[in-house]
């Protein structure tokens, strides 16, 4: 059941749409290298499209009605958008759910130190990373520092043309004999992932003069003291913009495409679908890369509480109606799959792999080995999805994540399935997943966005 390559089917108009979507997507990635930045950008896109903050309806006790478009934000790291449909919400919603966190390095609570006249920021890696991939790269710092007064200071270092970039040093090959004999997981240890931030001493200082110079510089620019690091959220990410990739410009190379490629296409589909029969929802959450934990992860009650508020603003809230709404909903858990890589073919089973250019990827189940940690979608639901995708001529494929005994991965699907709703994983095939720079096909991004639109309007 080999699927056709989508590139072969496009006319001039579709190619123009594909390139416009790709350009906007690259801008989304450049503006959203952290969860907070993604939420901020998503709010701007939503409000431009006429979405209103749900909090204003709640505060003024205004009633929602069919056609209203609202969003809710939680702790600036998760957002849910709703387009209220004509049908009774008790019949369920069509939901797109993605995550907006990505593997990275987090700056520790007491990070700044000096040793041998070098100043460093101590880090703790976040999510599944190959640690050796993060050395000798230009890096940037994004995040916030919150002062005791409550003032929130946005920090971005390493992205503008005038900014310095940062890096983690590596051992030169001439002295790396013993290092090269280690297992890949041990070549660079977690405590070696410290960011070199300076080497120039502050005049008039004898002790920790390089560190003192760094503190002076950040105080001059941002007005923060060393103790303010204790209430900071600073993320170390690759510096630089998303780029077209390949001599044919058929791909995009960028940081954070797992899972912002699905977050963006979900958001864009939500915005572009104007009138819906069933209420539609786009849910973008945090913390998937570390188990969907915490107040901003999918395991929190943010989504459930927000749906309860929607029902209240519709004048229809009851616990039973909430449960029925959730159980009757259908969801695409919008997350990436591992694209088949001929350079590492031994990790894949070709008949059940996802391929660049063959469209959006549906994964009946995720998990690892014996489907551990999996959501396993019903055959009836898959058949219904196939029908609407085929009717709308969406390019799609079904795939697993690598060979059965090689590894695996999970998504937020299993958490939503606890409500009893039908859920299947669906997203874009990605090369270099969890590396500092990931690759995705423009054709797959285009088809996924189209497929998400069809789901919201037809499912």
Residue 120 and residue 24 share a domain:
no
Model pLDDT for residues 128-137, shown as the tens digit of each residue:
999 999 999 9
How much is the pLDDT for 61?
A: 77
Write out pLDDT tens, residues 95-104: 999 999 999 9
Q: Is residue 270 part of a domain?
A: yes
Checking if the pLDDT of 367 tops 80, the result is no
Q: In CATH, what number is assigned to the domain containing residue 381?
A: 3.40.630.10
In the chain, the percentage of residues whose pLDDT exceeds 70 is 100
Q: Are residues 269 and 214 in the same domain?
A: no
Same domain, 305 and 357: yes
Percent share of the chain, pLDDT over 90: 91
| pLDDT of res. 318 | 96
Tell me how many domains the chain contains: 2
pTM given for the model: 0.95
CA distance 90 to 82: 15
Residue 36 tokens, joined: 């907070």
Mean local confidence (pLDDT), 33-49: 98
- Asked if the structure places residue 244 within a domain, the reply is no
Of 141, 142, 145, nearest in space to 165 by CA: 141
Do 98 and 121 have their domain in common? no
Same structural domain, 312 and 339: yes
The reply to whether 193 falls in a domain is: yes
Model pLDDT, residue 373: 77
pLDDT band at 85 (very low <50, low <70, confident <90, very high): very high
| Tokens 């104007």 found at | 274
pLDDT at position 293: 93
Q: Quick one: pLDDT at residue 81?
A: 98
Cα distance between residue 10 and residue 163, in whole Å: 41
pLDDT recorded at residue 409: 78
Residue at which a domain ends, from 212, 238, 264: 238
Please indicate, yes or no, whether residues 265 and 405 belong to a single structural domain of this protein.
yes
What residue numbers bound the domain in which 108 lies? 104-238
Average pLDDT over residues 146-167: 96
From CA 56, how far away is CA 14, in angstroms rounded? 39
Residues with Cβ within 8 Å of residue 372, at least 6 apart in sequence: 408
Residue 1 in any domain: the answer is no
- Determine the pLDDT at residue 140: 98
Q: Is the same domain home to 286 and 405?
A: yes
Tell me which of 238, 268, 292 is where a domain ends. Answer: 238
Within this chain, do residues 306 and 219 fall inside the same structural domain, yes or no? no
The reply to whether 250 falls in a domain is: no
Mean pLDDT (the chain) is 95
Same domain for 157 and 31, yes or no, is: no
> Residues 285-330: pLDDT tens digits?
999 999 999 999 999 999 999 999 999 999 999 999 999 999 999 9
Over residues 178-223, the pLDDT tens digits come to 999 999 999 999 999 999 999 999 998 989 999 999 999 999 999 9
Q: Give 186-194's long-range contacts (Cβ < 8 A, gap of 24+).
A: 187/131, 187/132, 188/131, 188/132, 188/134, 188/135, 189/131, 190/124, 190/125, 190/131, 192/131, 192/168, 193/105, 193/123, 193/125, 193/131, 193/134, 193/135, 193/168, 194/120, 194/121, 194/122, 194/123, 194/168
- For the segment 47-55, the average pLDDT, to the nearest whole number, is 97
Q: Which of 238, 263, 290 is the last residue of a domain?
A: 238
| Inside any domain, residue 147 | yes
Phi, psi dihedrals of residue 147, rounded to the nearest 5°: -80, 165
**Same-domain status, 35 and 149:** no
CA distance 257 to 251: 12
Q: Is residue 13 included in any domain, yes or no?
A: yes
Q: Would you state the pLDDT for residue 344?
A: 95
Same domain for 228 and 353: no
> 232-276 pLDDT, tens per residue?
999 999 999 999 999 999 999 999 999 899 999 999 999 999 889
> Do 228 and 145 form a contact (C-beta atoms < 8 A)?
yes
Tokens read off for 235: 């993320």
Asked if 137 contacts 151 with a C-beta cutoff of 8 angstroms, the reply is no
On whether residue 415 sits in a domain, the answer given is: yes
The CATH number of residue 162's host domain is 2.30.250.10
Residues 6+ apart with CB under 8 A from 161: none
Judge if 144 and 96 occupy the same domain. no
Mean pLDDT over 410-424 rounds to 92
In this predicted structure, the answer to whether residue 77 has a pLDDT above a threshold of 80 is yes
* Confidence label for 224 from pLDDT (cuts 50, 70 and 90): very high
Q: Residue 439: what pLDDT?
A: 98
């Amino acid at each position: 059941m080999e699927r056709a390559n989508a590139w072969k089917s496009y006319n001039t108009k579709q190619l123009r749409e594909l390139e416009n979507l790709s350009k906007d997507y690259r801008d989304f990635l450049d503006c959203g290298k952290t969860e907070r930045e993604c939420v901020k950008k998503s709010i701007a896109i939503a409000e431009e499209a006429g979405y209103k903050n749900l909090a204003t309806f709640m505060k003024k006790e205004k009633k929602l009605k069919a056609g209203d478009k609202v969003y809710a934000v939680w702790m600036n790291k998760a957002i849910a958008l709703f387009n209220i449909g004509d049908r009774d919400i008790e019949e369920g919603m069509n939901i797109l759910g993605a995550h907006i966190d990505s593997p990275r390095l987090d700056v520790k609570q007491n990070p700044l130190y000096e040793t041998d006249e070098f100043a460093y920021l101590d880090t703790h890696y976040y999510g599944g990373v190959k640690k050796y991939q993060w050395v000798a790269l230009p890096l940037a710092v994004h995040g916030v520092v919150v002062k005791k007064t409550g003032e929130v200071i946005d920090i971005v270092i390493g992205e503008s043309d005038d900014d310095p970039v940062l890096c983690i040093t590596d051992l030169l090959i001439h002295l790396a004999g013993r290092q090269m004999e280690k297992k890949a997981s041990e070549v660079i240890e977690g405590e070696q992932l410290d960011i070199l931030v300076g080497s120039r001493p502050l005049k008039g200082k004898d002790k920790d003069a390089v560190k003192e110079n760094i503190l002076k510089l950040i105080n001059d620019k941002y007005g923060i003291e060393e103790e303010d690091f204790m209430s900071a959220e600073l993320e170390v990410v690759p510096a630089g913009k998303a780029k077209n990739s390949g001599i044919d410009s058929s791909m995009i190379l960028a940081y954070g495409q797992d899972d912002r490629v699905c977050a963006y296409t979900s958001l864009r589909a939500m915005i572009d679908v104007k009138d819906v029969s069933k209420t539609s929802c786009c849910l973008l959450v945090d913390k998937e890369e570390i188990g969907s934990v915490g107040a901003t992860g999918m395991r929190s009650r943010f989504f459930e509480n927000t749906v309860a508020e929607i029902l209240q603003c519709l004048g229809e809230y009851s616990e039973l109606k909430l449960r029925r709404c959730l159980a009757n909903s259908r969801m695409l858990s919008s997350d990436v799959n591992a694209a088949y890589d001929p350079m590492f073919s031994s990790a894949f089973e070709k008949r059940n792999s996802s391929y660049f250019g063959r469209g959006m990827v549906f994964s009946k189940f995720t998990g690892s080995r014996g489907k551990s940690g999996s959501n396993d979608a019903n055959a009836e639901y898959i058949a219904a999805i196939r029908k609407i995708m085929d009717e709308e001529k969406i390019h799609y494929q079904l795939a697993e994540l690598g060979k059965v005994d090689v590894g695996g991965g999970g998504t937020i699907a299993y958490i939503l399935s606890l409500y009893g709703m039908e859920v299947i994983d669906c997203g874009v095939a990605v090369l270099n997943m969890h590396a500092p720079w990931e690759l995705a096909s423009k054709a797959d991004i285009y088809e996924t966005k189209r497929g998400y639109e069809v789901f919201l309007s037809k499912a």
